[in-house]
Amino acid sequence: MRYISNPPNPWASEEVEWIGEPPEARLEIYEETETRCIITSNNSPDIGFDYSVNCYRGCTHACSYCFSRPTHEYLGFGAGTDFETKIVVKVRAAELLRAELDRPSWRGDLLVFSFTSDPYLPLEAHYRLTRRCLEVCLDYRQPVSIVTKSALVRRDKDLLRRLVEEADCAVHFSIPFRDPEISRALEPFTALPDARFRAMRELAEVGIPVGIGIAPVIPGLNDADIPELLKRAHEAGARTAWMTMLRLPGSVAPYFEEQVRAKLPTRAARILNHIREERGGKLYASEFGARMKGTSEQWRMAERLFDVYCRRLGFNSTRNARRRTFRRPSEQGALFER
């Protein structure tokens, strides 16, 4: 048996094959103390923001489709089970964020908490790095947006409410599946969809803008879920919505295929065939503009379905200009002294 829950790391010079059952993968925590920066920039035209903050590397949610898995290979780990069991904690995150917001070059552009890891991993309950970074953002009146699959975000609703009042702040819940069994199969350690909708409602009730991300859409699996997900999100107080198609870069493709065949064996062939139809016979297309969208008539139908229900429910109907609230604490003090 060739064990590929961690596909071979293309940056490593050796590969390992287990003969028989592999050893159990256990959670390992690495505290990173030499991090030099915490704000990451990107120039991808497919991504709707330029700057993000990630307090953790790797993600215990273990989503089999996570496009961030190959980033773990740069650390010498694997993109499979290593990604969800070897977690790097950036213990100096808040200190670094304060230093970077103090730089004259920083102008207060939107910071998104999420991208390569969820900001509200279970470890956040102990380390509180996301909360401490949000406290820094409040000091600087720094606009923020959060994307999460976790109900732990409710813990910080007091802080998020203050950010809404003094800067811009919104929380987007990624909820791609309505069926809890499919959610458990492909994103096994996330909060179940019902829990995410309850958290969404709780934040909305205290005045925090919330939205839903139907991400990823997996053709042949959850594209039919779009209307119900949008309806439930609207009932829970969401007023913004977005969706993206499944991305399987690098080592994610073989890991996802292994997991979907193991967890959804009766649907696996159909799902994989649909993905290949969208990608010209492959599981992934790397070109800008094509990575997060499909090409088939089925994808275009999903887009139309999404647009129709967004208009019907009133999603994305108001787009207020972002306030320029950013002020360094020293600058705020100077204003009060005048």
pLDDT value for 313: 97
Q: What is the pLDDT of residue 336?
A: 46
At residue 31, the pLDDT reads 93
Mean of pLDDT over the chain: 90
Segment 284-306, tens digit of pLDDT? 877 766 667 888 899 999 999 99
Domains of the chain: 28-316 (3.20.20.70)
Work out the pLDDT band at 324, boundaries 50, 70, 90: confident
The number of residues in the chain equals 338
Of 331, 175, 290, which Cα lies nearest the Cα of 238? Answer: 175
Residues 6+ apart with CB under 8 A from 98: 136, 139
Q: Does residue 227 carry a pLDDT above 70?
A: yes
In degrees, rounded to 5, the angle at the alpha carbon of residue 135 between the alpha carbons of residues 32 and 202 is 110
* 3-class secondary structure per residue, 49-84: CCEEECCEECCCCCCCCCCCHHHHHHHCCCCCHHHH
Identify the CA nearest to 190 among candidates 172, 176, 210, 208.
176
Query: 13-49: per-residue pLDDT in tens?
Result: 555 565 666 667 788 999 998 888 999 998 777 777 8
Residue 3 banded pLDDT, cuts 50, 70, 90: very low
Enter the pTM of the model: 0.89
Are 69 and 83 in contact, with CB atoms under 8 Å apart? yes
Q: How confident is the model at residue 315 (pLDDT cuts 50, 70, 90)?
A: very high
Indicate whether 337 pLDDT > 50: no
138-163 per-position pLDDT tens digit: 999 999 999 999 999 999 999 999 99
